[in-house]
Amino acid sequence: MSIESLRPDELALLTTLAVFPGGAPAELLAEVHAEGSVRDLFDPLDTLVRRALVQLEDSAAGGHYRLLEPMRLAALQRVEPPVRAELESRHASAISTLATAAEPRLCSGAEEQAVDDLDRLFASLRAAVHRDLSQDPDRATRVLLATHEYCFLRMHYEMYSWTEALLELEELAPPTASVLYAMSGLAAFNRGDLDSAKTRCLKSIEIAHAGGVDPHVYAQFGLITSYGFDCQFEQAQAHFAEALRWCSATANEYFLVNTLVLGAMSMTIQGDDRTGLKLATSALDTGERLANPSSIAWSLCAVADAERQDSPGAAHLHLEEALRVARTVQSRWVEGQALLNLATLCWQSNVEEAAVALVDALTNAERTGSPIHCQQALRVAVLLLAKLGRFREAALLLDPSRRHPKALPPAPDVAQGLDDVRTTCGDKLGADVFGALLGQGRRMTDRDLLPLARHALTDAVPA
């Protein structure tokens, strides 16, 4: 069935649907179409579906209508530029409103439904933000802030490229610039660049104070983690206190969970497992009160991290529960971290279980491209492959983070394990072979090494 055979009302509706890459539910179509109510759209939509011009898909929220990409582009090409510009403007407004409204849902027990909605509309969210980068940067920033948790948990790292594009604009309002620098600082931390993370988050706070506004808690998050992983614990503690004050002033329990988890991680890194467990347990209590899956799973990871030395059995149970909860909302970040924590917990006592968890973690890191998870997974892979007698692969992967001077430092027990493996591989393979393999590994990127590690572990420990 061709576009030319459509009635005027059907063609107009098809044109409206064409500005939605990835499609939309009927209610959202009606907002942009601006011709009649939702009820008035069902008959022409049904006709378009029956004629195989439009696909009807099911989602948790109901029907979702979409055009195949060639049909969508063909429909847009028929639209006069002024009409298309008006449609895209209404589309960006509707999507931005929906994205902003999703923020409280993402931070509550309605997270799963909110994530499903944003998954379905992510292509439209991308289109709306791209338009607003030049047309309405303040609104683009509000949308990025509102959906940051979703993008982070789903590892849509293109969010950070949008952030950098906005920072290149001139004459940003202080609240806008402050938020953007905070998100840019978090992006630097996620790349393992602690110095840039500190610089950008401190600039976010400076801009906020100069503009007479409160810094967003994201700036404090970037500083807690960067100083904590850099073993500058006094500075991390100061920003932890600032984050707690922000959460108290805004009565925001969702960010309180994140604050407590980051504080727990910092305390655990410095060896104070008791305080780390206390903070992580408090985060878990708050997350369960919110009934927010990501908060619960993230808190369980922090609890397990604090328990791993004194109560490895309890830590194991908490990580299994974290995985189960994270997977209910497909929280790829928390799932990846839980798998890495499980592999690290088991690598000395149960190498087979550790290998199975790490293969899943490596797959997760390949799919998401998380620099932190890539670094952590490759380090643990070195430890496991050496224990399994795969010295050539271990040497090839050995401490790949040494190629990255700004990479996160490994945990103390992992660092000691890597040093031991270096000595063992040198002895087993001989200096010449060991040096050649190490050099070859350093010429490869983390993304190249991930599948190599995954295949080596799968061969060594078949499922």
Cα separation, 118 vs 153, whole angstroms = 12
* Contact status, residue 450 vs residue 365, Cβ threshold 8 Å: yes
Question: How many other C-beta atoms are found inside a 10 Å radius of the C-beta of residue 91?
Answer: 24
Residue at a domain's end among 79, 96, 117: 79
Find where tokens 């509706």 sit: 13
Token pair for 216 = 């967003």
Whether residues 12 and 44 share a domain: the answer is: yes
Res 462: pLDDT: 75
Tell me the pLDDT band of 85, cut-offs 50, 70 and 90: very high
Can you give the CATH number for the domain in which 4 is found? 1.10.10.10
Whether residues 364 and 323 share a domain: the answer is: no
* Contact status, residue 316 vs residue 303, Cβ threshold 8 Å: no
Tell me the pLDDT band of 61, cut-offs 50, 70 and 90: low
- Residue that wins the pLDDT comparison between 451 and 75: 451
* Contact status, residue 339 vs residue 324, Cβ threshold 8 Å: no
Chain segment 202-233, per-residue pLDDT in tens: 999 999 999 999 999 999 999 999 999 888 99
Counted residue by residue, the chain has a size of 463
Positive or negative torsion for Cα 310, 312, 313, 318: positive
Residue at a domain's end among 28, 53, 79: 79
Whether residues 302 and 261 share a domain: the answer is: yes
Which H or E run includes 353?
helix 351-368
Q: CB-side exposure of 296: number of CA atoms within 13 Å?
A: 20
Chain segment 7-26, per-residue pLDDT in tens: 888 888 899 999 999 999 98
CA distances from 49 to 10, 62, 65, 283 (A): 11, 15, 9, 48
Res 403: pLDDT: 52
Q: For the chain, give the mean pLDDT.
A: 91
Nearest to 156 by CA among 99, 87, 212: 99
Chain segment 419-453, per-residue pLDDT in tens: 999 999 999 999 999 999 998 988 888 888 999 99
Tell me the pLDDT band of 127, cut-offs 50, 70 and 90: very high
Which H or E run includes 63?
strand 62-66
Tell me the pLDDT band of 402, cut-offs 50, 70 and 90: low
Q: Range of 373's domain?
A: 356-463
CA distances from 461 to 359, 362, 384, 412, 457 (A): 10, 15, 10, 26, 6
Residue 238: inside a domain: no
Token pair for 202 = 């401190």
Tell me the pLDDT band of 407, cut-offs 50, 70 and 90: low
Cα separation, 279 vs 97, whole angstroms = 35
Residue 331: inside a domain: yes
Chain-centroid distance, C-alpha 338: 14
Contacts of 402 (CB under 8 A, 6+ apart): 442
Tell me the pLDDT band of 261, cut-offs 50, 70 and 90: very high
Nearest 10 degrees: Cα torsion 373, 356, 156, 200: -10
Contacts of 290 (CB under 8 A, 6+ apart): 107, 108, 109, 253, 254, 257
What would the mean pLDDT of 177-190 be, rounded to a whole number?
A: 94
Question: Residue 60 pLDDT > 70, yes or no?
Answer: no
Token pair for 293 = 């899956």
Can you give the CATH number for the domain in which 294 is found? 1.25.40.10
- Residue that wins the pLDDT comparison between 331 and 37: 331
Residue type, 320: E
Whether residues 447 and 381 share a domain: the answer is: yes
Find where tokens 């430890």 sit: 383
CA distances from 455 to 110, 446, 450, 459 (A): 38, 14, 9, 6
Residue 237: inside a domain: no
DSSP SS3 for 64? strand
Res 123: pLDDT: 95
Residue 85: inside a domain: no
Whether residues 280 and 364 share a domain: the answer is: no
- Residue that wins the pLDDT comparison between 191 and 343: 343
Question: Residue 62 pLDDT > 90, yes or no?
Answer: no
Residue 29: inside a domain: yes
Burial of 97 (0-12, 13-18, 19+ CB in 10 A): middle
Residue at a domain's end among 300, 328, 346: 346
Token pair for 304 = 């397990």
* Contact status, residue 338 vs residue 319, Cβ threshold 8 Å: yes
What would the mean pLDDT of 234-256 be, rounded to a whole number?
A: 96
Q: Which of 237-241, 292-296, 347-351, 449-453 has the lowest mean pLDDT?
A: 347-351
Whether residues 397 and 447 share a domain: the answer is: yes
Find where tokens 């492959």 sit: 385
Whether residues 379 and 456 share a domain: the answer is: yes
Res 2: pLDDT: 64
Res 94: pLDDT: 96
Total tally of structural domains belonging to the chain:
3
Percentage of the chain lying above the pLDDT 70 cut: 96
Residue 380: inside a domain: yes
Residue 47: inside a domain: yes
Tell me the pLDDT band of 196, cut-offs 50, 70 and 90: very high
Whether residues 447 and 361 share a domain: the answer is: yes
Angle at 29 between CA 25 and CA 34, to 5 degrees: 155
Find where tokens 């490596």 sit: 362
Tell me the pLDDT band of 3, cut-offs 50, 70 and 90: confident
Whether residues 397 and 446 share a domain: the answer is: yes
Nearest to 99 by CA among 49, 69, 142, 131: 142
Chain-centroid distance, C-alpha 436: 36
DSSP states of 16-51:
HHHTSTT-B-HHHHHHHH-SS-HHHHHHHHHHHHHT
Question: How many other C-beta atoms are found inside a 10 Å radius of the C-beta of residue 81?
Answer: 7
Residue 13: inside a domain: yes
Whether residues 380 and 332 share a domain: the answer is: no
Contacts of 80 (CB under 8 A, 6+ apart): none
- Residue that wins the pLDDT comparison between 94 and 405: 94
Whether residues 310 and 377 share a domain: the answer is: no
Whether residues 364 and 461 share a domain: the answer is: yes
